[in-house]
Amino acid sequence: MTDRVELIWPTTLGDALRASTHRMVHAVTATGGAIGYLAPPDRAETDAWLDGVLADVRTGDAALALAAAEDGSGEVLGCALWRRRAAVASHRHSAELQQVMTQPAARGRGLGRLLVSALIDNARTAGLELLILGVRGNNHGAIALYEDLGFREWGRLPSGISVGDERFDDVRMYLDLGRPADVVLHGAAALGAGASRRRA
């Protein structure tokens, strides 16, 4: 159930929402959430992360969605974002889905599905053609959710994620969002810029 939840698409964030987002990130990490931190971050770390994301939001290279409680508290219960793969010009038609998380106490309410579905629609509207993501191999619930929303696995790096002395597969997934009708798809054909033929 996602009743009494508001989706917020910020370009800037005031202190109250920053503090609430920090509490969520801290709680998710403290309960073993696979969101990139090995230990719960301090407020300075989450503020720095938000500053970087919001800077990309303002240039059109990202979108951040926050699921906030509508019970008067405004508490952030979940978040997710897409970030354009802007470092290389030939990858700007794609973006990576990142930091999908929900407050541990709010799990089971469909917030992950709500956030990811909203970001898929937002990415399509922004003209993106591909969404990719990485997920820890032991996170079968997340993988099932992504598959249900149309993502497909395109690669897996065995033991590619390190958490102390434990190793987990790095599962890579993609979602094709569609593209303009005049786009020509070459796939792996040995033609076009940068092509070479296999040696005999």
**Domains of the chain, first to last:** 5-176 (3.40.630.30)
Q: What pLDDT score does 4 carry?
A: 85
The gap between the terminal CA atoms of the chain, to the nearest Å, is: 58
The whole-angstrom separation of Cα 147 and Cα 163 is: 25
For 119-154, how does the pLDDT look when each residue is reduced to its tens digit (9 = 90+)?
999 999 999 999 999 999 999 999 999 999 999 999
Q: What pLDDT score does 1 carry?
A: 47
Q: Is the pLDDT of residue 194 over 80?
A: no
Q: What pLDDT score does 3 carry?
A: 61
How crowded is residue 182: how many other Cβ atoms within 10 Å of its Cβ? 5
Query: What's the token pair of residue 164?
Result: 């102390």
157 CB-near residues (< 8 Å, 6+ apart): 169, 170, 172
How would you classify the pairing of strands 94-102 and 130-136? parallel
Average pLDDT over residues 10-27: 95
Burial bucket for residue 102 (CB in 10 Å: 0-12, 13-18, 19+): buried
Q: Is the pLDDT of residue 16 over 80?
A: yes
Percent of the chain clearing pLDDT 90 (strictly above): 76
What phi, psi does 7 have (nearest 5°)? -90, 130
Question: Rounded to the nearest 5 degrees, what angle is found at the Cα of 164, between the Cα atoms of 163 and 167?
Answer: 50
Average pLDDT over residues 41-67: 96
Q: What pLDDT score does 2 carry?
A: 53
Q: What pLDDT score does 164 carry?
A: 86
**Considering the chain, what is the average pLDDT of its residues?**
92
Q: Is the pLDDT of residue 197 over 90?
A: no
127 CB-near residues (< 8 Å, 6+ apart): 93
More confident position, 89 or 9: 9
Residue 155 near residue 166 (C-beta atoms within 8 A): no
pTM, full prediction: 0.91
Q: What pLDDT score does 57 carry?
A: 97
